[in-house]
Amino acid sequence: MSCPDNTLTSKWLAKGKIKMMLSAPFHGSVVSQTELIERNNLPTAATDGTVIFYNDSFVRSLTLPQLCWLLAHEAEHIMMLHAFRMGKRNPRKWNYACDFSINSTTLDSLVHEGVFEAIEGTLYDKKYVNWSSEKIYEAIPDSEVPEDDGSGDHVIAPGSDPDGREGEGGDNNDSQGKTRKFLSEDQIKELEEQAKRKVLSAAETAKSIGNLPGEYSSLLEKLRYPTVDWKELFHRAIVGSEPDDYTMRRPNRKMLQSGFYMPSILKQSVGNIYVWRDTSCSMSDADDRKVVSELKGIIEDVKPKAVYVIDCDTEVNDVKIYYPGDNLDALERVGYGGTEPQAFFDWVEENGEEVQAIVCLTDMGFHLDENALPSQTEVTWVSVVDHDPGIGNFIYLPSGED
């Protein structure tokens, strides 16, 4: 039965929250901590990661199990930080990917357990069970995502308001006509941290009741112990944390949209980067492809004068030199012997010129002689094993499958 005519929408929503706290306390606690805002220009409901917007008529048309499913759906978007993970992706396609991910996995489990009732027409495909939203996003052809199928977006950018209400920082319409606030990176990060705290608090509530689904353990682990953004650390290790200079020739576009004419960062040229590619047998081909792939992305952003990639196990086996615009996609390995970085360090000491950075892609499977490190610059270790040598910059890049 849908919401009775003599029942206020606020009471109907409150009844849904109570049922969720009893049947699915993790989701229920997230919803209970989240402000629910009426926005009747929405077809159903949406979230910007901080609040939940809903269409009054749609909410009243649902049965109580369907209402709980809708609220849990929006709670999942908050729990999975979908609004903050969207980035520069196509919003419509990202919504499809996120909906497929949560509807086909966690929410489907709750439906089969008889806790909720799925709303007719929701996106579901069993092949996407346990897939991340990012993986689904890459798998869905653009042609399968209609520009407007009447369902609306459930995930909108942080600070957005479907009703076009003004908010802090000024407003502007995006390509889909939705009003978005101009939030600084610090403001967005703070909103993300608030969302994380909300989810962790909800998990503690569910755990105290003895009803915390095990499939959320990895999510909670990531929220409690977030992975350091190694790319940012790598960038700082190479070019430093301070900009080289500022220029007024190209104003900061983000600030210009807000009415402020501010300078942008002027990046000076970066010298040569010398890379030890550990080609010993202890480095698997999968780990090698992973670190080289990540290195490629960083180098394309930094744009050094040249990149020297030295294949070395117990001796220098090969030296490849790459200049701006060269392709680093396919790098054949030469080596597969033991592990001895000293040969690499000696090579750099003898041959290095304009050394901007020394980077070691390795599994740290060797004894390090601190006195033998190159004198030109500090070494940055990028390791697939969490073993900090205690000298230089250390960045842990977790090993993983292709």
Mean pLDDT on 170-183: 45
* Amino acid at residue number 109: S
DSSP assignment, residue 155?
A: B
φ and ψ at 186, to 5 degrees? Answer: -65, -40
pLDDT tens digits, residue range 307-351?
899 999 989 999 988 887 777 665 677 777 888 889 999 999 899
pLDDT tens digits, residue range 292-301?
776 776 667 6
Cα within 13 Å of Cα(388), Cβ side: 7
Q: Is the pLDDT of residue 379 over 80?
A: yes
Q: How many CB atoms lie within 10 A of CB 381?
A: 24
| CATH placement of domain 269-396 | 3.40.50.410
Helix axes 185-209, 64-79, angle to 10 degrees: 130
Task: Quote the CA–CA distance of 360 and 358 in Å, as a whole number.
Answer: 7
Task: Quote the CA–CA distance of 25 and 17 in Å, as a whole number.
Answer: 9
* pTM summary value: 0.55
**Which of 13-27, 221-235, 351-365, 373-387 has the least mean pLDDT?**
221-235
Asked whether the beta carbons of 360 and 278 are under 8 A apart, the reply is yes
**Which of 54-63, 154-163, 260-269, 380-389 has the least mean pLDDT?**
260-269
34 closest CA partner among 23, 47, 43: 47
Task: Quote the CA–CA distance of 319 and 284 in Å, as a whole number.
Answer: 20
φ and ψ at 382, to 5 degrees? Answer: -115, 105
Task: Output the pLDDT for position 140.
Answer: 87
Task: Output the pLDDT for position 402.
Answer: 37
Q: Which of 42-56, 156-170, 216-230 has the highest mean pLDDT?
A: 42-56
Task: Outline where 210-284 has alpha helix (H).
Answer: 217-224, 230-239, 253-257
Domain boundaries, the chain: 9-224, 269-396
**What share of the chain in percent tops pLDDT 70?**
75
pLDDT tens digits, residue range 118-129?
888 888 888 888
